[in-house]
Amino acid sequence: MAKDVSSQSDISKMKTQPDGSFKRADSSFRNFIEPGGKFEAEKGRYHLYVSYACPWATRTLIVRKLKGLEELIPVSVVSPRMGAHGWPFASVDAFPDSDVDPLYKAEHVKDLYLKADPDYSGRFTVPILWDKKHHTIVNNESSEIIRIFNTAFNDLVSAEKAKLHFYPDHLKAEIDELNDWIYPNINNGVYRSGFATTQEAYGKAVVEVFDALEKLEKILDGKDYLVGGQLTEADIRLWVTIIRFDPVYVGHFKCNFKTIRGGYPAIHRWMKQLYWNNDAFKSSTNFDHIKTHYYWSHKSINPTQIVPLGPKPHVEPL
């Protein structure tokens, strides 16, 4: 009989900490692609599994496009309706714009994890960077997958794309410093607010989200990018959360002190400029997948699974 992994796959069985706060587990597969290593850069060897709904996965989609890796690293998109078995492929849930697994005909993302490691005991998350040669997961941590995409395939892309660097040496310290507070307070802060199961844990998390947004508003005032006057991974990492804020986090995760469009003009302008002026951002964003995922999949937060129709529009014009 197949092993029961429902406590790992079913988000409704996910436990919070004893004080009701949500703590995200660390990712388990943490390899890099490098010359002479187990995983070397090759055309067609790697495959990216993502959900359009997931902010972490969307970071990888954006960098894949920016770096011109579409031909080298094909992508498959899961259905946004995450149920008892976790993320399904289109073979079992044919949601528009989702794919079947072209490599193994897996029905769920969990099948890939258990193929890579039958004893895997973590959550079955996206994104996954998959190696077709060793039939395993190279890396399932988005912050590392974007660093891999940033440099590992530079010999295989055009000189113009190779030149693009989203974590350049001279800006590393500043980017690291931003990531250090943006990740816990904003990227993961909205989840800590939404997944909290006590009033106290929610109250603490939501205040931290908005304190961080106030700080960010000052940093972005009069600027097009967070650091160094150029697009860096700090922008990409933050943007995927901000674009979901008004459509999802304000309502579903109760982050409702202010909206981005109503309360943060500098953050709003920065977000809209990237969306409307850079196709890597817009084409990686699918609001149908985003809204359906959160409102449909988190039944403990939204038992009716009704997906709201607003806000209208999802993104305001520039």
Ligand X SMILES: N[C@@H](CCC(=O)N[C@@H](CS)C(=O)NCC(=O)O)C(=O)O
CA 3, CA 23: separation in Å to the nearest integer?
Answer: 25
- Strand 136-139 and strand 75-77: the pairing is unpaired
Instruction: Show contacts with ligand X in window 48-77 (CB under 6 A).
Output: 54-56
Is 78 a residue that touches ligand X (CB under 6 A)? no
Shorter beta-carbon distance to ligand X: residue 130 or 217: 130
Which is closer to ligand X, CB of 91 or CB of 179? 179
Place of tokens 């040669």: 133
Closest separation in Å from C-beta 60 to ligand X = 8
Residues 247, 303: Cα–Cα separation, whole Å: 18
Closest to ligand X by CB, 124 or 275 = 124
Percentages helix, strand, coil for the chain (3-state, rounded to 5) are 45, 5, 50
Under the binding rule (CB under 6 A), the answer on residue 294 touching ligand X is: no
Residue 127 within binding range of ligand X, rule CB under 6 A: yes
Q: Which residues 154-213 are close enough to bind ligand X by CB under 6 A?
A: none
The interface region with ligand X, picked from 96-104, 135-143, 178-186, 232-240 by CB under 6 A, is 135-143
150-161 exposure pattern, b = at least 16 Cβ within 10 A, e = fewer: bbbbbebbeeee
- Identify which of 11, 136, 145, 164 has the alpha carbon closest to the alpha carbon of residue 85: 11
Question: Rounded CA gap, 60 and 244, in Å?
Answer: 16
Q: Rule CB under 6 A: is residue 242 a binding residue for ligand X?
A: no
Among 22, 39, 95, 124, binds ligand X (CB under 6 A): 124
* Cβ-contact 181, 212 below 8 angstroms: yes
Write phi, then psi, for 43 (nearest 5 degrees).
-70, 130
Is residue 285 near ligand X by the rule CB under 6 A?
A: no
Sign of CA dihedral 25, 297, 282, 181: negative
* x-or-dash string of contact with ligand X, 84-123, rule CB under 6 A: --x------------------------------------x
Smallest separation, CB 100 to ligand X (Å): 18
User: Closest by alpha carbon to 166, among 107, 233, 261?
Assistant: 233
CB of 124 to ligand X, least distance (A): 6
- Positions marked catalytic: 54
Length of the chain: 318
Residue 281 binding ligand X, by CB under 6 A: no
| SS3 call for 139 | strand
Structure tokens at 108: 């769920």
Tell me, by CB under 6 A, how many residues bind ligand X: 15
Nearest CA among 22, 194, 47 for reference residue 131: 47
- Whole-number minimum distance, CB 5 to ligand X, in Å? 11
Kindly state the smallest distance separating residue 284's Cβ from ligand X, in Å.
14
Nearer to ligand X, 93 or 141 (CB): 141
Burial per residue of 198-227, b for 16 or more beta-carbon CB atoms within 10 angstroms, e otherwise: eeebbebbbebbbebbeebbeebeeeeebb
Q: Is 56 or 217 the residue whose CB approaches ligand X more closely?
A: 56
**Residue that the structure tokens 């009069």 belong to:** 222
Of 137-145, 155-163, 264-272, 305-313, which segment contacts ligand X by CB under 6 A?
137-145
Answer yes or no whether residue 11 interacts with ligand X by CB under 6 A.
yes
Q: Which member of 66, 112, 116, 126 binds ligand X (CB under 6 A)?
A: 126
Q: Tell me, what amino acid is at 312? A: K
> Please, which residue, 58 or 268, has the CB nearer to ligand X?
58
290 part of the interface to ligand X, by CB under 6 A: no
* Interaction site with ligand X (CB under 6 A): 11, 27, 54-56, 86, 123-127, 140-143
